[in-house]
Amino acid sequence: MKMMMMMNSTQTAFFTLGAYYDMELLRYLYFVIIMCLYLLIIGANLLLILVISVNRTLHEPMYLFLVSLFVNELYGSSGLFPLLLVQILSDSHTVSVPLCFLQIFVIYSYACCEFLNLAVMSYDRYLAICRPLQYRSQMTDRKVAMLISFTWLFPVLAIAVIIGLSASLQLCGNVIQKLFCGNYAIVRLACSDTRVNNIYGLVYTIISIIMPAAFIIYTYAKIMRVCFSGSKQTRQKALSTCTPHVASILNFSFGCCFQILQSRYFTDSLPGMLDIIMSLYFLTCQPLFTPVLYGLKMSKIYRNCKHQIKLDETRTKD
């Protein structure tokens, strides 16, 4: 016990992920299921990135923001699935300290980038629907590049600070009760003062989650106002382009909210299997359903996907 109390972040060589249980022969079934999900996520997102990249007719702001979103889905998935697959087949369920902090960096920057991407896309839809005559002059190539750069640079810098604060903490243990490394789970192990971590975490949450969410609500309130005051054709066009975006926002917001509540308040009260399912939901459903939602709902992408598949089949036959 004394040795455990004396451990700190520099002396701890690894963390133990305590949410795993003895799966025996089922581990191979879980491995196959998770691997199939991962391959499906990679394939679906890469296909849409390829379709948008090779078709000049899709080189518009809305589709460029979609490419940024799809790339982020691949980025976030890479922070979970490879290590998850290794842990399923492992008996020790340990992860080195540097690898654990790397996973935290990838997953947290993915979540922040996702919210910012969705906020930027809502702004793009707001301009296209509420200010159609000014859209081209306001959504210039330079502005698109600046918005995409911001959605990626801000999360990297913000999460780098979080990692720096957490890595300097003195820890009283090394067991994380999760399927993957989480920052708050490490903060809970701290023996040292965590006030700076908590204050920065609150500020980060306000800037990266609450403010984008408020902005999205504001833009869609404006969009709905225009839809209900316009013609039936205007409403149908707005709904066809906004439906996948709204579904994506609701899906990701639900996953994020549950993940925050689970990490901070429900750690010990949830049944084991439900805890595992909801942990995976946060980082699985969004990367899986986002390309499906946009690929099926946006007719332009759907037509180009079918055309690209037919071209590939023709080349294969030749």
> Which tens digits make up the pLDDT trace of 243-260?
777 888 888 888 777 777
- Mean pLDDT, the chain, integer: 81
Contact 151, 120 (CB under 8 A): yes
* CA torsion through residues 4, 8, 14, 20, sign: positive
What is the 3-state secondary structure of 139-178?
Answer: CCHHHHHHHHHHHHHHHHHHHHHHHHHHHCCCECCCEECC
Burial 98-119 (b: 16+ CB within 10 A, else e): eebbbbbbbbbbbbbbbbbbbb
CA angle 105, 111, 114 (to 5 degrees): 130
Q: Which of 29, 106, 28, 33 is nearest to 74 (CA)?
A: 106
Quote the tokens at residue 57.
Answer: 């007719």
Q: CATH code at 144?
A: 1.20.1070.10
Q: Which domain holds residue 170?
A: 2-317
Q: How many domains does the chain have?
A: 1
Give the three-class secondary structure for 17.
strand
Per-residue pLDDT of the chain (318 residues; tens, 9 = 90+): 333 333 444 457 888 887 776 666 778 888 898 899 999 999 989 988 988 888 877 788 988 999 999 999 999 999 889 998 888 888 788 889 999 999 999 999 999 999 999 999 999 988 988 888 888 888 999 999 999 999 999 999 999 999 999 988 888 888 888 888 888 888 888 888 888 988 998 899 888 888 988 999 898 888 888 777 766 666 676 676 677 778 888 888 887 777 777 666 655 555 556 667 777 787 888 888 888 877 666 656 656 666 655 655 555 555
3-state secondary structure of 15: strand
Alpha carbons 5 and 2: distance in angstroms, whole number:
5
The predicted pLDDT at position 270 comes to 58
Please provide residue 179's backbone torsions phi and psi, each rounded to the nearest 5 degrees: -80, -20
Q: Please give the full DSSP string across 49-106, using - where no structure is assigned.
A: HHHHHH-GGG-SHHHHHHHHHHHHHHHHHHHHHHHHHHHHH-SS-EEEHHHHHHHHHH
Backbone angles phi, psi at 299, to 5 degrees: -60, -35
Here the tokens at position 286 are 């969004």
For residue 136, the one-letter residue type is: R
Backbone angles phi and psi of 19, in degrees to 5: -80, -15
Q: What is the pTM of this model?
A: 0.84
Segment 196-244, tens digit of pLDDT: 988 998 899 888 888 988 999 898 888 888 777 766 666 676 676 677 7
